Structure 1
Amino acid sequence: MFNENILGELTVAAESNNVINSKYYTKYDVKRGLRNENGTGVLVGLTKIGNVHGYVMDNKENKIPVEGKLTYRGINLREIVDGFQSEKRFGFEEVCYLLLFGELPNKDKLVKFKHVLGECRTLPDGFTEDMILKFPSRNIMNKLQRSILAAYSFDDNPDAVSVKNILRQSIELIARFPTMIAYGYQAKAHYYNDKSLYLHSPKAELGTAENILYMIRPDNKYTKTEAEVLDLALVLHAEHGGGNNSAFATHVVSSTGTDTYSAIASAVGSLKGPKHGGANIKVINMMKEIKENIKDWEDNDEIKNYLLKIVKGQVFDKSGLIYGIGHAIYTLSDPRAVMLKKKALELAEEKDRINEFNLYKNVEETAIEIFEELRGNRNICANVDFYSGFVYEMLNIPCELYTPLFATARVPGWCAHRIEQVVSEPKIIRPAYKNINGNSKYINLSCR
């Protein structure tokens, strides 16, 4: 255990000696956050997997807002969703196939792929006891990351980077993520919250969404509607281009020639952050505080006054952020949020929570109005995180699983990006950092 006084002294040194004056970023034209001055992303690679479209550029390199569009392997996500939903079937496994192999499967190939996933869902012998139950974690993302790294030890050929081997590992991880997060949650609930321990074996005949609901609930019960909604959420989160933080982390780590488990674990670590996949929990916590402090949920003036306090850093986490509002690329709309908002309304009506849905809707509209008034930003929209947590909450999914569900949905996208990196780009990713510290002389210990 650290002595608090010593730790305090070390902290002062660590902070003061690592501050970089913002003028240097301007002086050396640093692309902070890998963003250009106009807010667009710095082009660092090419991909055939996903495309995020939220604006067009005019002749003067100004961003022109447009309605958001997301494609998987060139196919509009809206068309994919309409396709499998019109046939009243689940779509996540089909999307996994599309992302990994670059084409839609026919009926026979989809059946075989689902069978392979089903056969791989069970964790290796001893894994649950030795890697999950003996070392539970308060944070399921942390537990998932450690479980991925532990899977390396259960693989007879963990380091080979042939496409065949990476593909095998990818399919196993896609299949096992639901089991890993379900067992990780059960261990956390038992050891940290004193709840009964339920470990249900995954069922090979069930899809990803159904298995998740089956394994996290004590009675294994779920409705078809609940499974369909969760399946949609998984589809909407499965891929988001190579430039998002976790996919880029996958590219960076994969470019070193390392193993699949290390690359995917790094992506999970990235997604855990509140500025990325952890934002859905931030939204839920923010909305909880709003509910507690606003008396009339239909009073837009009261809502606006409280949101202004959030923006000014006076309440909630004092970051000045309205979580779930705004996106790096989408301007007029996030297509994922649009589809999830529609489903959230249907669920709210079914579960008699329409008042809460209306509050979310009012907060969304008022937040956009505030950013327009304060910053002149008319081109801002709700992102997928704004409604995803509310949907999970209505599905009675514990909040500890919100971000792990995001990871479970995104792992096929990560694996596709890893394969693309290994196949197409042999160079290690190595951007430049300019040292601005200047030269110093070594001082002998007795003279310091």
Structure 2
Amino acid sequence: MSRFGAATAPISKKQGSGEGAASFKILLIIGLCHLLNDTIQAVVPAMFPVLEKSMGLTYTQLGLIAFSLNMVSSIMQPVVGMYTDKKPKPFALPIGLTFSLMGILGLAFAPKFEIIVISVLMIGLGSAVFHPEGSRVAYMAAGPRRGLAQSIYQVGGNSGQALAPLITAVVLVPFGQFGAVWFTLVAAVAVGLLIYIANWYSMNLKIGKTNLTKKKKSSSSNGIRSRGSVAFALTLILILIFARSWYISGMTNFYAFYAINEYSFSIKTSQLFLFAFLVAGAAGTFFGGPLSDKYGKKTIILLSMLAAAPITILIPYVPPVAAFILLTISGFILMSSFSVTVVYAQELVPGKIGTMAGLTVGLAFGMGALGSIGIGYLADIIGLTKTIILTGFLPMLGILTIFLPSDKKLTLQK
């Protein structure tokens, strides 16, 4: 039977523990669901230029909307992950997307700022439920290729986020706020696919072939033994996520305004620049995982941050064509470490798949949330141009990667 065919059958205990063949059908479906989920989330920042004009919102208010969306996800994802590490909940996946469906419907009809905030809170809640369990499904179906599996899963999400500029240009500019109603169809498709995933997930739990959440790891093994050293390494990972997320947040939420002001672009043209940045980031997410399987996770994390830094610093100083090229390159390089940091954390703290996925991915959203409100406030105070210049220095924090334990030490602790 082919690997694609094998994905429809219950996976073996060996597969469930990440040691057998990867189940690519499940990986592709959960990656597609991630794309649909994050496309729904992408509607929110995609609406910023529309809401700024129609409701007269300030940069700070736009930052608060992004904060509301991302902070709920940040707070809830680790909580959901810790709970489902003990008690997996397969059908939480379609239930979570149902919350997102209701949120996007509310967003389309919201008459004022407060209703918009409530609607995005529901979208954030749906995302918080989806991400830890979605990452667990990817881990279950990964076999030995965890970097590749997380890349397939995460590239779906980043591709969904990359659609935000197209959503603005194709849907929201001509149809306005009401155009968001079309994305209830996206949510409905995601719910249907996740019912299929939940049945697969539930079947494997019931027959006892996978039991990732109760897998015990010896605390006396070689490598990273002390809680202090694990906590130190995890803190460094979170700082790196902090730096990357603030930069991505600044570009995603405010670079369109920068391009409009500095280059006299229309909304549509500015969104094309942002689209190139995000699509390149999605491509980088995909390639980063397989490269980490081959060359090591620490190496890819270090290179992705430090190689991106000179480019992000240069972007505000170049003309439009050069900016387009540099945005594309920086997006690819910087996001190549996205899925790698998730796998690194999962291997750093074995047996806590959902918790680590919720912490790393959830924290990325949370740091993006803080970044959104902080960068928005800074832009109101010192101006958007200076703010974009300052955010370009954030990837330089990648130098801290040199203090992370090597991949060999992570392997020794298993």
* TM-score using structure 1 length: 0.27
Higher strand residue share: 1
Higher helix residue share: 2
